[in-house]
């Protein structure tokens, strides 16, 4: 099955959203449960492993 680059980009973004702690309640790296306050999109941080979704400058 052929997947265009636009479809591939969409699937990549969809996966990011569906695995984000805001929706799952857990860190995507270590699976630690995160408190609601730690699950804000663009500001999520895992105190256990240090994972963050903050954009790098």
Distance between CA atoms of residues 8 and 49, nearest Å: 29
Q: What value does the mean pLDDT take over residues 29-45?
A: 82
Q: What value does the mean pLDDT take over residues 17-44?
A: 83
Q: For residue 57, is pLDDT > 60?
A: no
Q: CB burial class (10 A; 0-12, 13-18, 19+) of residue 21?
A: buried
Distance between CA atoms of residues 40 and 43, nearest Å: 5
pLDDT confidence bin for 17, thresholds 50/70/90 = confident
Q: For residue 38, is pLDDT > 80?
A: no
Percentage of residues of the chain with pLDDT beyond 70: 88
DSSP SS3 for 7: helix
pLDDT, averaged across the chain: 84
């Amino acid at each position: 099955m052929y997947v265009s680059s636009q479809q591939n980009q969409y699937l990549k973004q969809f996966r990011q959203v569906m695995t984000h702690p805001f929706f799952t309640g857990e860190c995507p790296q270590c699976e630690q449960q995160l408190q609601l306050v730690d699950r804000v999109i663009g500001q999520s941080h895992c105190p256990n492993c240090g994972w963050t979704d903050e954009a790098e400058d």
